[in-house]
């Protein structure tokens, strides 16, 4: 896998907080939806809290969103949990005495950055509100199908 499921799971977590705001939001309950362990959920929440996306109280359940869903872009979530590592890795160990080995890191780095920026721009266009809206639409489709 390229980007770990931390990104995917974090989006899941935020959507869950929104949709199940009325439930008792323990890390255990959230974990049961993501199908992972409560510790993993708490670790993710730690990152999201540090990034200013949610607020939590030690010792108490019920994390809350720190800002409206429409103001949380997928890119913000990405940076919160994965932002420190580039999407494409330049091999850092090449022969500096060779024309290719001595210059490729600089050259490739620029093009890689461009590609990553393009992906990030796309992630920036989508908000968590879009995700939640789509989840609810998909669910409505399923419900409609059942009644037919």
State in angstroms the smallest separation of the CB of 22 from its own copies. 13
Q: In the range 26-55, which residues lie near its own copies by CB under 8 A?
A: 32-35
C-beta of 51 vs 129, nearer to DNA: 51
Q: Are 30 and 41 in contact (CB under 8 A)?
A: yes
Q: In the range 118-147, which residues lie near DNA by CB under 7 A?
A: none
Whole-angstrom distance, CA of residue 92 vs CA of residue 101:
10
C-beta of 40 vs 123, nearer to DNA: 40
Give yes or no for residue 112 binding DNA (CB under 7 A).
no
Positive/negative CA dihedral, 79, 86, 31, 74: positive
State in angstroms the smallest separation of the CB of 92 from its own copies. 8
Q: How many CB atoms lie within 10 A of CB 65?
A: 17
């Amino acid at each position: 896998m390229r980007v770990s499921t931390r990104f995917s799971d974090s989006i899941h977590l935020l959507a869950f907080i929104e949709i199940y705001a009325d439930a008792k939001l323990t890390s255990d309950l959230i974990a049961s939806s993501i199908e992972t362990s409560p510790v993993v959920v708490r670790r993710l929440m730690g990152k999201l809290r540090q990034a200013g996306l949610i607020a939590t109280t030690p010792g108490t359940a019920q994390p809350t969103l720190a800002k409206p869903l429409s103001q949380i872009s997928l890119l913000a979530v990405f940076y919160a949990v994965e932002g420190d590592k580039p999407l494409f890795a330049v091999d850092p160990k090449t022969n500096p005495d060779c024309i290719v080995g001595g210059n490729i890191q600089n050259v490739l780095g620029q093009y890689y950055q461009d590609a990553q920026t393009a992906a990030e721009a796309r992630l920036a266009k989508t908000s968590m509100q879009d995700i939640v809206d789509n989840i609810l639409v998909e669910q409505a489709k399923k419900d409609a199908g059942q009644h037919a």
